Structure 1
Amino acid sequence: MIEFNVPEMHCGACVNRITKAIIASDPGATVETKIPERKVMIESRLNVDRLIAVMQEAGYSAARI
């Protein structure tokens, strides 16, 4: 599982947007979130750079932890 810091993620709507974007790019991905920590954990076939790009396309900056 790859962990990312997503500073703009602050509510359930943010989680939904990020999750939908990741699943659209990799339907087999698993996405877990921790809103208070602004953390997204992803298990995916996509590489780190692509996952960051997908989250950016959804409107959220992300950095691997």
Structure 2
Amino acid sequence: MYTLKVEKMSCGGCASRVTRTVQTLDPDAKVEVLLKDKLVRVESARAPDAVAAAITAAGYPATQVAAD
């Protein structure tokens, strides 16, 4: 599991779009959104940089902040 900071994520719609983006990349991914902190915790077989790149391409700049 790893955590990504998603700067432009500010509402429930943003959180849903980010979640869908991750699950499009990896349908088995587990995604937890911490909206007030602008963090997304992801458990996925895909590498953090690939997930961050997909979220960024969806319009939400994302960077990895922690790996659990």
Query: How high is the TM-score relative to the length of structure 2?
Result: 0.91
Look up the SS of the partner of 1:36 in the other structure: helix
CA–CA separation in structure 2 for the residues paired with 1:63 and 1:53: 8
Count of residues in correspondence between the two structures: 65
Give 1:50's aligned residue: 50
Look up the SS of the partner of 2:17 in the other structure: helix
8 Å contact 2:3–2:64 — kept in the other structure? yes
Of Structure 1 and Structure 2, the greater strand share is in 2
- CA deviations on 1:1-30 (whole Å, 9 max, x unpaired) are 100111111100001110111111100000
Seq. identity, % = 34
CA–CA separation in structure 2 for the residues paired with 1:56 and 1:48: 12
* Amino acid in structure 2 at the alignment position of 1:34: L
Moved over 6 A (4+): none
CA–CA separation in structure 2 for the residues paired with 1:30 and 1:49: 16
5+ residue gaps in structure 1? none
5+ residue gaps in structure 2? none
- Within a 5 Å distance, the mapping from 1:1-65 to structure 2 comes to 1-65=1-65
Query: How high is the TM-score relative to the length of structure 1?
Result: 0.94
